[in-house]
Structure 1
Amino acid sequence: MSTSLDGLPVVVIGAGPVGLAAAAHLAERGITFTVLEAGDTAAAAVRQWAHVRIFSPWRYNIDSAAARLLTDAGWVRPDDDKLPTGGQLATDYLQPLADLAALKSSVRYNARVTAVTRLGLDRLRTAGRDTMPFLIRLADGEEVLARAVIDASGTWDTPNVLGASGIPAHGETASSSFLEHALPDVLGADRDRFAGKRVLVIGAGYSAANTLLLLAQSPGTDVTWAIRADTPARTYGGGSADALPARGALGTVLREHVEAGRINLVTGFAVQTLSPLPGGGVEVSDGTRTIAADRIVSATGFRPDHTITTELRLDLDPIMGAARTLAPLIDPNEHSCGTVPPHGAAELTHPEPDYYAIGAKSYGRAPTFLLATGYEQARSVVAALAGDWEAARDVQLDLPETGVCNSNVPVESDSIDGGCCGTPAAVEPAGRGLATGVAGGLLSTPLTLVSVSTPAEGEQAGGCCS
């Protein structure tokens, strides 16, 4: 079988922030490409947490090549210092990017990828492998050929399980009707499923914190928060000493709700069993204690899905599930979001030539991914595919030592100088009472900018912006 790679596109899997950044860089270099997006719109996953405000301001959420293309088309750039919601990120930046003439005809929606392999070759065959095109099979059976693959499909669709041992807890699958994905819109579109119910939130990251703060305002809702750790100190973070104002406020207000009894905290709780209750709801057990709930929010993080590439030769770290060379650079036991070293195509390379996983998927199980990191990955990988190895190796990344995560805590002004990089102002609660309403899906506890501070020593950050 002989098929030339000439004229075949680079296939990008996923039309999220990093996938579209790769498309922008490919367009700038004049490389033919096709973006395959499983959803029916750009940024389909981002839109599922549209109500959540991001910790980092606009300046850190826009890719450089995307900005150039958009500006040339007359796009009005958002205020660099404002903090966008997921919905604003999608509608004000990502959809306009996907709709540009340079990209639009090459972006395909409702095109879910189910397998990536080499045409006529399984993973055992070596001879001629680097000269055969990739074969990408879609859910409807269509097959697409490509000269290279950039997998930016992310991890949103593959959340971690509740079971403490990394596998589903007993009864978890059978109890799926009681489970909610991370970051439900509990005061908006999903309100009816939570108001007045017994709700259990499991997880110690910022996704859990966001949901807990909103649930604390849900009328008549009984809120329980279960974590495996013996203390919630990491979730509470640095409070007013945090370099990211919105994140510091998140921990401060969460602590106040727990101490006031509006949120019932259960520590040292490792989920073992889920069992339906005769009167309705589900009982969750750690083998000793039980918690009864009507709804469970699973905020336990995410993991990559490598099942679509089982016939490719990938060299994955056995712990992280990331490229072996990249894994030690992103190990959350050693690094926070901001201490990850610059990396690009060289660290993302696998034994399978011209296949690259970038974005959140590239980090495997590590929760330290930053959007700015994904943009630099996209730039470097596209440079490598263009044969510009000097540019591919010239990886430059200026990251904060604190993470860039999500926040539902507003500030009196949503412009915060410094944002995730540099030294921004800190925040602290201005009052104990709740405001009269919720605007834009944000927690309406008022906060005031008060001072300037630096990151806490040795701070670790998880659940970073994706």
Structure 2
Amino acid sequence: MVIGAGPVGLAAAAHLVARGIEPLVLEAGHSAGSAVREWNHVRLFSTWAEVVDPAAEKLLAPTGWTAPDGAACPTGGDWAEKYLQPLADVLGDRVRFGATVTGVSRLGRDRVVDADREQQPFTVHVTNADGTEERITALAVIDASGTWSTPSPIGGNGLPALGERAAADRISYRVPDLKDPAVRARYAGKRTAVIGSGASAFTALAFLADLAKDAPATHAVWVLRRGISGSTFGGGEADQLPARGALGLRAKAAVEGGHADAVTGFRTSAIEKSGDQLVLVGEDGHRLDPVDEVIALTGLRPDLSFLEELRLGLDERLQAPVELAPLIDPNVHSCGTVHPHGVNKLSHPEKDVYLVGMKSYGRAPTFLAMTGYEQVRSIAAALAGDQEAAERVELTLPETGVCGGAGLFDEPDAANTDGDSGGCCATPSTIQIGIGAPAASGGC
């Protein structure tokens, strides 16, 4: 059983098919890559050559599918329409849409019961689009449902700020699509707070600056929990994903331009209404000038609620598998290089259940699609009994050159954290920054 028909879930299905194992993919949305489609206007850092899984490409080849230009960087919309949906179509009845997983357990065993536990199949509870419920048994569960549906709140302590829920109609947790007339009108000529320190925040700032060309009153306030240093902007020319490095360089150039405010060392504790505007209040009582809108890009976190009857081994901080967590912990690692890993780093006390893709990273940043493809290749080999292949590394990841916990990603469903690894307890301060407009290609 595979949960999620996104890039990594569909790759898992392709690898299982290649191993002679019949998968069933359950997708809550109504099309392949439903989460990816929600950021269809954002361009990936990785090229097409880096976001097409080898096993999936072999499955697609007999259909006459032609791989896009390997050197080009797709948008989310491109990725979904030109690769993910064709792959789901090839998989056919192995993919079911409108199927929401509401619970996973061992048949006849809650998480407390030991007796014959591993001999029981998994039971997956599903609610279909028409409201009907069913139970499906499975020999293994691969959860590739991602983290897109659970954005982190604005509050600096990981909980919603006071007033955050009440101001929900003025807060977006996504990079806005300013090509949409209704969205464009929402931000044009307005003062917008952008909260976050990663690539999504850089992109939102650039989009707003571009909007200011047509609506000069458009103004951004960049709110960061840490200070600004050379490492804030990633690896630049040292990044082996050029588009990712270029975004950091554009942001660095923007900081030197002097066209918008940035507030550093600010942890939001409350959001208050002031007439038709909102005021962000820091934990130290510092109040920012009123804004019309807020774009919160402080990361995503995994939804573990439907897995609560399984015995998962998760790191208490990151909510990532305990063996993987030390490799990706932003409290320890100042750079974004993560070694390729597979089944051994992803196993849990509950045998044959795996969290993969962005969900395997819990709350940690720096996830690449290539990492997820290697994860599911290894897991499929293990499930097929080929332990040698499962333990073999078949991937070399590009070095990010990203230091200081900036959290740069190649796909926004891996979002960006504004975490604590860079040190952020300084007194809030305001500086002037210049926000560069996004490249016409969106960053490739």
TM-score, normalization by structure 1: 0.82
**Which residue of the other structure, out of 275, 281, 286, is the alignment partner of 2:277?**
281
Q: 2: distance between equivalents of 1:328 and 1:155?
A: 20
**Which residue of the other structure, out of 143, 153, 158, is the alignment partner of 2:145?**
153
Return the letter of the residue paired with 1:84.
Answer: P
Percent identity, aligned pairs only? 51
Q: 1: distance between equivalents of 2:195 and 2:435?
A: 26
Q: 1: distance between equivalents of 2:244 and 2:385?
A: 41
- CA deviations over 1:278-330 (Å, ceiling 9, x no partner): x2122111121223222111110111111111110111111121111111122
Q: 1: distance between equivalents of 2:411 and 2:263?
A: 23
- After superposition, the Cα gap between the structure-2 partners of 1:274 and 1:232, relative to the gap in structure 1 and judged at 3 Å, is farther
Q: How does 1:91-240 map to 2 (within 5 A)?
A: 91-100=81-90, 103-139=91-127, 140=131, 141-188=133-180, 190-218=183-211, 219=215, 220-231=217-228, 233-240=230-237
In the alignment, which residue of structure 1 is the partner of 2:57? Answer: 67
Q: 2: distance between equivalents of 1:35 and 1:343?
A: 23
Q: 2: distance between equivalents of 1:52 and 1:284?
A: 27
Q: 1: distance between equivalents of 2:119 and 2:2?
A: 19
- CA deviations over 1:7-44 (Å, ceiling 9, x no partner): xxxx1000000000001011112212211111111001
TM-score, normalization by structure 2: 0.86
> How big is the shift at 1:388?
1.5
Q: Aligned residues, how many? A: 406
- CA deviations over 1:134-161 (Å, ceiling 9, x no partner): 1211234322221111000001111111
Q: 1: distance between equivalents of 2:260 and 2:73?
A: 27
Secondary structure of 2:268's partner?
Answer: coil
In the alignment, which residue of structure 1 is the partner of 2:423? Answer: none
Q: 1: distance between equivalents of 2:21 and 2:241?
A: 38
Q: 1: distance between equivalents of 2:250 and 2:340?
A: 34
Return the letter of the residue paired with 2:189.
Answer: G
Q: 2: distance between equivalents of 1:114 and 1:242?
A: 40
Return the letter of the residue paired with 2:174.
Answer: A
Unaligned runs of 5+ in 1: 1-10, 409-431, 448-466
Return the letter of the residue paired with 2:68.
Answer: P
| 2:260/2:435 contact within 8 Å kept | no
Q: How does 1:437-452 map to 2 (within 5 A)?
A: 442=442
Q: 2: distance between equivalents of 1:273 and 1:97?
A: 45
- CA deviations over 1:320-365 (Å, ceiling 9, x no partner): 2111111112223444776322311111111111111110001111
Secondary structure of 1:292's partner?
Answer: coil
Q: 2: distance between equivalents of 1:263 and 1:232?
A: 17
| 1:14/1:153 contact within 8 Å kept | yes
**Which residue of the other structure, out of 24, 41, 48, is the alignment partner of 1:51?**
41
Q: 2: distance between equivalents of 1:243 and 1:106?
A: 36
In the alignment, which residue of structure 1 is the partner of 2:409? Answer: 405
| 2:367/2:409 contact within 8 Å kept | no
Ranked by relative contact order (alpha carbons within 8 Å, sequence separation 6 or more), the top structure is 2
| 2:226/2:264 contact within 8 Å kept | yes
| 1:135/1:146 contact within 8 Å kept | yes
In the alignment, which residue of structure 2 is the partner of 1:290? Answer: 288
Unaligned runs of 5+ in 2: 403-407, 413-433
> How big is the shift at 1:239?
4.3
Q: 2: distance between equivalents of 1:336 and 1:439?
A: 31
- CA deviations over 1:178-207 (Å, ceiling 9, x no partner): 110222213435212211222110000000
Instruction: Answer yes or no: is 1:344 the counterpart of 2:332.
Output: no
Q: 2: distance between equivalents of 1:24 and 1:161?
A: 35
- After superposition, the Cα gap between the structure-2 partners of 1:433 and 1:163, relative to the gap in structure 1 and judged at 3 Å, is closer
